[in-house]
Amino acid sequence: MAKQISELKLGILGGGQLGRMLIQEAINYNLTTLVLDPDHDAPCKHLANYFECGSITDFDTVYKFGKKADVITIEIEKVNIEALEQLEKEGKLVFPQARVIRLIQDKGIQKQFFKENDIPTAPFQLANTKEDLLNSSFSFPYMLKQRKDGYDGKGVMRINNIADLDNAFDSPCLIEELVDFEKEIAVIVSRNSNGDVKTFPMVEMEFNAEANLVEFLISPSTYPDHVQERAESIAKKIAAALNITGLLAVEMFITKDGQILVNELAPRPHNSGHHTIEGNYVSQFDQHLRSVCNLPLGDTRAINNAVMLNVLGEKGHDGVAKYQGLEKIMAIDGVYVHLYGKKYTKPFRKMGHITIVDQNREAAIEKANFIKETLKVIS
Alpha helix (H) residue ranges in 171-301:
225-242, 276-279, 284-292
Beta strands in 200-270 (DSSP E): 203-208, 213-219, 246-255, 260-266
The size of the chain, in residues, is 379
366: annotated binding-site residue?
no
Distance CA 212, CA 151 (A): 10
Give the C-alpha separation, 379 to 363, whole Å. Answer: 31
| Distance from C-alpha of 272 to C-alpha of 116, rounded to nearest angstrom | 26
* Residue 177, annotated as binding a ligand: yes
Collapsed DSSP state (helix, strand, coil) of residue 138: coil
Of 308, 284, 224, which Cα lies nearest the Cα of 260? 224
Closest CA to 301 of 273, 266, 276, 269: 276
**Residue 210 marked in a binding site:** no
Cα distances (Å, whole numbers) of residue 193 to 117, 176, 284, 291, 294: 21, 34, 17, 7, 5
Query: Does 107 belong to an annotated binding site?
Result: yes
92 labeled binding residue: no
Determine if residue 179 is labeled as part of a ligand binding site: yes
Residues flagged as binding site: 107, 145, 176-179, 184, 263-264
Residues flagged as binding site for ATP: 107, 145, 176-179, 184, 263-264
